[in-house]
A and B are shown apart, each in its own frame.
Chain A
């Protein structure tokens, strides 16, 4: 297990350094890193500190959040098809952001967009918890999540529908595809507290998720409070996914595919899958963001598009493999 942790972390570090040092200008990695760490007033330091560092840091934070929340959600629902968006948080965060773009709040106020997205996530998670009811059942949580996701999607469409000009609509559609371009350290600082709290909450779930392997009844009898487990899961997921959506837009497939790939490597144990998925999620978003910058740098390819294009076939492959195992 330790070897897996070291291996996954090493890969993440490699991709992080690559994300920091790869760029259009022909500057060596050593020079770039030196400019980042030692620093002077020169343009290279500015580029490294103000553009590449926040972008790579956000990729790690967003990826770790999505991977961790995905693993937690799959473990809780005992379903490999679950993903963090299932409880409606990413949908409602997106709605908040879209409203911010539509009303002009995103341009008139610094951080208007991420703030509105976070408020959207908060409203969404409050509604889901109210709908799901006080008992710790997973079925009501899924149903409530689906209802809130559908409502948020409908309202997002309504905003697009009523959009006064094609440019606003265009901006909304592009934002929803998800991206890490042109983010600053401010975005890191606004997301970090929410993600930090969410990570800490989700990290405590390992034992409960392990027990849930044997079903809700057996877990309850083993001293796991299902009510508290569900509350921690929902609040933790809302916190990390809301913050991720606020700074990066909707990035799909990471939370679904990453736990699925890693499950055989950790012996399918939900508690081990948590940290492994966090590390590997960071790698996947870093890699996707590098691809975005390298493949079509002039066309502003969107991160969410790349994760979906890479993620969907990967997922199909996994389904195919599972099918063969079942046969």
Chain B
């Protein structure tokens, strides 16, 4: 009897080993992809959009990838630890989705030359580090067209976080879009000096509204500006995500950034061994920037114009920063017939004509 038991035990052990070997074999076929997020995923906003992209990639490459994400990773030394942990625990492709992860990503990438890293919004490449970001300004321009046409007071309000080129580029593109259809339109900017502070964002939006703005947009992370617009009965253009459920009457549209295709393509490139370090800057053409469904209060002809402009941006026949463009002082910054280069776009540090106030320095 005892012998039988021993046999049974041995057999079970063998079986277990077999299962384990099979298990590792199937896992080895899969690409393990890690994501590092700077804030909680939540329901709208920067990280939410990245997580949508992650989920889309998982669906597109079902069975070939497995993913893991770490939320709320502060920029700095803590980020380096998280990225290193992911690399150490077998994640071959790691997306780090905030600007402040740049140096930690590069440092870890050096330690793990066999792994692949993609850093969002950064500007430093390495042998195994690529960068990616979206041409938000394309969506800003389109939403500016809608705002310019829907405003009655010709005053548009912009709640902005920090005066860095990225944000300034959005303000300028929005202004150019608005003034392409309404030369009277002016854009008022209020800086809240925070990416995320719902109270302050609300107060800034409220201020803009009481100073006469009747369309509010924002380059901050919470839904507060849209909520405030809804409460005060003015229009809003949301950023990052569709926020129509927070402002069903207020939201005209939202400028959304989508990463699903980029994440899928990148993971596929790693799976096919064709990955190369690149600085990807993708927009409407690549499907990285899209407007949320436009509110039914926007007249049909405006929607048609937005659609037409979307198409010409996608096929390259139109660029939002196409001359002549003047700065606030009236100086021509982009000559007639010229288009701003990517380099110039990335360094933008002035307001175009039509923005009120000056950039804090």
Tell whether A and B belong to one assembly. no
* Residues of chain B whose beta carbon lies under 8 Å from any beta carbon of chain A: none
